[in-house]
Amino acid sequence: MANILNEEKTFDMSKYKFKEMPKAVRVLISVAKYAVLVFACLIVIIPLVVVLLGSLKTHDDFLSSGAFDLPQVIELTNFQTAFIQGDVMRGLINTAIILVFSCVGTIITGTMTAFVVQRFSMAFTKMVKAVFLVAALLPNISMQVTVFQIVHTLGLYDTLAAPIILYIGTDIVSIYIFIQFLENISVSLDESAILDGCSYPRVYWSIILPMLRPAIATVLVIKFVSIYNDFYTANLYMPSDGLEVVSTALYRFIGPYGSKWEIIFAGVIICIIPTLIIFLSMQKFIYSNLVSGSVKE
């Protein structure tokens, strides 16, 4: 009891000392704090504003005006040219196919693996954790020759299946995220369900998987951004025309329209919109804690 009182007293004293600072010092600290936040926001917003303004300009207006000048005439045909003629539409379709299968596969395999590893304490699960740790420490670039040979031998090279298999099978970070969330879900829920006659697969599907929704939302956002921005895997394993994703479509788009930056900027804006929509629609699940206070041990 005395320790608690001492801790509260120390905390109150620290607040008291901060309040007793001179007003000029407190104002200076507040100004510096908000100045840093404003500067960070400007670093993110300014490039987006430049790209957006450039995508709305005509070719002559783009060459004759500054980066922050408003367009004299809003040219929406830039988006049509980028979307259809620049193969951005094909890139979005292929990216969506890869994202759906990769994310679903990652959620199923990741949650199942985390459930077995975290809930069953055996020598095998400890060995699996150690193997996952070693795999996470190895740089991906050092294994690319072997991975490429395996993909080519399986006949997956130059197909959409190649990146899907790679994205599902190499996601160690997602498994660790699910393990950390599972540690906050009480084992009493599993035991109660088993006493009521549930099997372990039923416990997984009916209890564990629904309660992992915050972790699933977090993994989906991370997975979506990493796959959406990945240029190396798509460019290496899908070099043929017709298999472009968003990143490679933009890269190949620079060729025929290398001097028409207003069209390239329009393609960039089109590719930004899906990421923005996904993040804004799922961010509430990331910060919410649905399992908090479910069972207290």
- Return the CATH number at 213: 1.10.3720.10
Q: How far apart are CA 211 and CA 289, in angstroms?
A: 10
Instruction: Verify that 168 and 198 share a domain, yes or no.
Output: yes
Average pLDDT of the residues in 122-149 = 78
> Based on the domain organization, do 201 and 233 belong to the same domain?
yes
pTM for this structure? 0.74
Query: Is residue 139 in some structural domain?
Result: yes
Whole-number percent of the chain with pLDDT over 90? 12
Does one domain contain both 208 and 99? yes
Q: Which of 40, 75, 110 is the last residue of a domain?
A: 75
Kindly tell me if the per-residue pLDDT of 282 is higher than 80: no
Closest CA to 212 of 248, 178, 256: 178
Stretch 169-194: mean pLDDT, rounded? 83
Which of these ranges, 9-23, 121-135, 148-162, 179-193, has the smallest mean pLDDT?
Answer: 9-23
Q: Is 110 found in the same domain as 71? A: no
Say whether both 206 and 246 belong to one domain: yes
Q: Is residue 132 part of a domain?
A: yes
Judgement on whether residues 57 and 165 belong to the same structural domain of the protein = no
Are 248 and 231 a contacting pair, CB within 8 Å?
Answer: yes
Instruction: Answer yes or no: do 61 and 106 share one domain.
Output: no
Which pLDDT band, with edges at 50, 70 and 90, does 38 fall under?
very high
Amino acid 294: pLDDT: 44
Are 36 and 64 part of one and the same domain? yes
Say if residue 293's pLDDT is above 50.
Answer: no
The answer to whether position 283 is within a domain reads yes
Given pLDDT bands bounded at 50, 70 and 90, which one contains residue 259?
A: low
What's the start-to-end Cα distance of the chain, in Å?
A: 23
- Residue 195 domain-assigned (yes or no): yes
Q: Which domain holds residue 185?
A: 88-260+268-287
The full length of the chain comes to 297
Residue 48 sits in the same domain as residue 97: no
Indicate if the pLDDT at residue 98 is higher than 90: yes
Q: How far, in Å, CA of 11 to CA of 3, rounded?
A: 12
Q: How confident is the model at residue 255 (pLDDT cuts 50, 70, 90)?
A: low
Asked if the structure places residue 3 within a domain, the reply is no
Domain count, the chain: 2
Report pLDDT digits (tens) over 208-226: 888 888 888 888 888 888 8
